[in-house]
Structure 1
């Protein structure tokens, strides 16, 4: 039983590292936070206190969004949350293992 748990932990760590590496390569990334199932930051470009604060605020926002979605359609689920300001864009993507939060520069890439 302990060995199975350790193998699962190694798979999850490698999954986190791979996701982090792929995101880090994208242009205009400012910050990355990866949360475990419990909502705790496990890897981040932010200082630990900031990552904890940011993930806590995300938890509140996610609960409110899910509550609203349930009222609209009880069978629907949150796949991605995108919040954009003039300067930044925050993309939040939960899955069954981790939640990925990315802050990026909100540049318009459309050239007219």
Structure 2
């Protein structure tokens, strides 16, 4: 798990990252930078949304698969990566993209 920890530390070191959560297939947070209550709240909501998004992607194209679910809100972005029965949830401050 050393490689996973190193990757998470690199992600969390980014200035815009507010926190990360890893949850198992049962929806239980197994690693989080948030307190248990907040992590469980995010996992409960985002797990259901990810399952619905995965089903939608497969309904549209049965050979396709959900890789990342990205939600942009006014103040933050939430990215959910379902992989091998786990969910990686990343929250970061929303930074508007400038057009040049």
2:2 alignment partner, one of 6, 10, 14: 14
CA shift for structure 1 position 46:
0.9
Over the aligned positions, Cα root-mean-square deviation in angstroms equals 1.8
2:73 corresponds to: 85
Once residues 19 and 100 of structure 1 are traced to their aligned partners in structure 2, the CA distance between those partners, rounded to angstroms, is 12
Count of aligned residue pairs for this structure pair? 100
Q: How does 1:1-112 map to 2 (within 5 A)?
A: 13-96=1-84, 98-110=86-98, 112=100
TM-score, normalisation: structure 1: 0.77
* CA distance in 2: counterparts of 1:21 and 1:106, whole angstroms: 20
**Moved runs in structure 1, 4+ residues, more than 3 A?**
none
Which structure has greater helix proportion? Answer: 1
Task: Name stretches of at least 5 consecutive residues in structure 2 with no aligned partner.
Answer: none
Corresponding residue SS for 1:92: strand
TM-score by length of 2: 0.85
Deviation at 1:36, TM superposition (A): 2.6
Q: 1:47, 1:87 → 2: CA distance?
A: 20
Structure number with the higher strand fraction is 2
